Amino acid sequence: MADSAQAQKLVYLVTGGCGFLGEHVVRMLLQQEPQLRELRIFDLHLGPWLEELKTGPVQVTAIQGDVTQAHEVAAAVAGAHVVIHTAGLVDVFGKTSPETIHEVNVQGTRNVIEACVQTGTRFLVYTSSMEVVGPNIKGQPFYRGNENTPYEAVHRHPYPCSKALAEQLVLEANGRKVLGGLPLVTCALRPTGIYGEGHQIMRDFYHQGLRLGGRLFRAIPASVEHGRVYVGNVAWMHVLVARELEHRAALMGGQVYFCYDNSPYKSYEDFNMEFLGPCGLRLVGTRPLLPYWLLLFLAALNVLLQWLLRPLLLYAPLLNPYTLAMANTTFTVSTDKARRHFGYEPLFSWEESRTRTIRWVQAVEGSAR
Ligand SMILES: NC(=O)c1ccc[n+]([C@@H]2O[C@H](COP(=O)([O-])OP(=O)(O)OC[C@H]3O[C@@H](n4cnc5c(N)ncnc54)[C@H](O)[C@@H]3O)[C@@H](O)[C@H]2O)c1
Ligand SMILES: CC(C)[C@@H](O)CC[C@@H](C)[C@H]1CC[C@H]2[C@@H]3[C@H](O)C=C4C[C@@H](O)CC[C@]4(C)[C@H]3CC[C@]12C
């Protein structure tokens, strides 16, 4: 067994390391990666919590930067053994323009790839998304699908389009020669809907329920199942892939892996109630309270209001035509590819994931009961 100095030799870079998923990846690396000598955290917005990480044995380097700026990315990548690229604009609510989403998610990813090639970094793990596959514009269900399930992955919305393009760039870059002449090894992970400590949308639903007197009103049939995955298990899969990519380059290079765990398949709203119920909220209705045509009308009205109000303020409600279509289309995965290729098993059980998420909602929202 190598002594500690030899063991701690690797430099990792996490882009988007201050985001919902990124923070969990950062903390998981510090807990689970013994070979880490330096951990670089690259983000447009650095969190104050980073300071507490600088007291440990691993050198933690916070880098405030923009993935759309190639020179900033190259400077952060230079000398890294592994890049975990999670930075992105996760916007399905119309908060940013399609151009900006493309600039960050596609050009930003292109900049990360080129930085690896130019500086000699050989291992790149990309955080893709289930949405690269679907739901598609036809609203076709994807039921317990895997990485090889035939499905017409056709999108119009800028976010899934950007994720699909970025994933394609990453996979096509596998095998490119980097500085020094060795091949780049890339891999893309496709999490389903991530939940857990720090999930802003869960927080939004909780606040919406508080405003409505402790109630949320069912809008989607309980039969429409959505795959969800605990953020700690997504972080764990990233750590595992980053560790195994070098030793299993021939098998894993250029591959995609769905990222999910033992979280139950439920409708998006029923699943959220696993956490919001213990925090005092109630989901009203055993079936949707409004007819679908009325939900469509309200969603379209939200788009019109967003456009009219844009000169004055950002109006970005949860309900819009895209989110309604997503929520109303079954999308669940079932695959053992990650286990077969690099031994992935969820680190957190469903019970642990649920308990941790409930505690977070209770603690953050002061709703402990
Ligand atoms: N949240 C989910 O359910 C989910 C599911 C599947 C995949 N993903 C993917 O996981 C990744 C992280 O998502 P998240 O939910 O943690 O989002 P998030 O918004 O919480 O985190 C994204 C991070 O990227 C940073 N960032 C944004 N633009 C940047 C730029 N130009 N330069 C540098 N940093 C920038 C943000 O500051 C933020 O810290 C994204 O690529 C997303 O597509 C998310
Ligand atoms: C207002 C109701 C109709 C309510 O039920 C809408 C829920 C809606 C906000 C969410 C339903 C499905 C979610 C998406 C899904 O979990 C997967 C995603 C992929 C990931 O890469 C980013 C987040 C998201 C797009 C996620 C966003 C919220 C939903 C659309």
* Coil/strand/helix, residue 187: strand
**Is 159 considered catalytic here?**
yes
Cα 39 from Cα 80, distance rounded (Å): 9
Position 1 scores a pLDDT of 41
* Coil/strand/helix, residue 70: helix
Q: Which atom of ligand 1 is nearest to the CA of 21?
A: 16
The tens digit of pLDDT for each residue in 98-111 reads 999 999 999 999 99
Which of 15, 25, 27, 43 to mutate to test ligand 1, by most ligand atoms within 8 A of the CB atom? 43
Q: Which ligand is nearest to the CA of 205?
A: 2
CB 318 within 8 A of CB 216: no
Residue type, 336: D
Position 2 scores a pLDDT of 45
Quote the radius of gyration of the chain (alpha carbons, Å): 21
Sign of torsion over alpha carbons 112, 113, 119, 124: positive
Backbone dihedral region for residue 67 (phi beyond 0: left; psi -120 to 50: alpha; all else: beta): alpha
Position 5 scores a pLDDT of 54
Cα 159 from Cα 173, distance rounded (Å): 21
Cα 260 from Cα 72, distance rounded (Å): 32
The residue extents of the domains of the chain are 4-197+228-262+332-349
Give the long-range contacts of residues 143-149, CB within 8 A, separation 24 or more: 143/225, 143/330, 143/332, 144/332, 144/333, 144/334, 145/332, 145/333, 145/334, 145/335, 146/258, 146/333, 146/334, 146/335, 146/337, 147/256, 147/257, 147/258, 147/335, 147/337
Successive 10-residue mean pLDDT values, the chain, 369 residues? 63 98 98 96 96 93 98 98 98 97 98 98 98 94 98 96 98 98 98 97 94 96 97 98 97 98 98 97 96 97 97 96 97 98 98 98 69
Cα 83 from Cα 125, distance rounded (Å): 6
DSSP tag of 48: G
Q: Which atom of ligand 2 is nearest to the CA of 163?
A: 21
List C-alpha distances in Å: 95 to 154, 256, 368.
23, 29, 31
Sign of torsion over alpha carbons 76, 17, 201, 156: positive
Position 364 scores a pLDDT of 78
Contacts of 130 by beta carbon, 8 Å cutoff, 6+ apart: 190, 191, 192, 193, 227, 258, 331, 333
Position 368 scores a pLDDT of 46
Residue with CA closest to ligand 1 atom 38: 19
The tens digit of pLDDT for each residue in 246-262 reads 999 999 999 999 999 99
Peptide bond into 135 cis (omega under 30): yes
| Ligand 2 midpoint to CA 203 (Å) | 13
Question: Is residue 348 packed enough to be buried (19+ CB in 10 Å), middle (13-18) or exposed (0-12)?
Answer: buried
Architecture per CATH, domain 4-197+228-262+332-349, reads as 3-Layer(aba) Sandwich (3.40)
- Checking DSSP bridges between strand 185-191 and strand 215-217, what pairing results, if any? unpaired
Other Cβ atoms within 10 Å of 107 Cβ, number? 18
Q: List all residues whose CB is within 6 A of at least one atom of ligand 1.
A: 16, 18-22, 43-45, 66-68, 86-90, 104, 108, 127, 129, 163, 191, 193-194
b/e 207-230 (16+ beta carbons within 10 angstroms → b): ebbbeeeeebebbbeeebbbbbbb
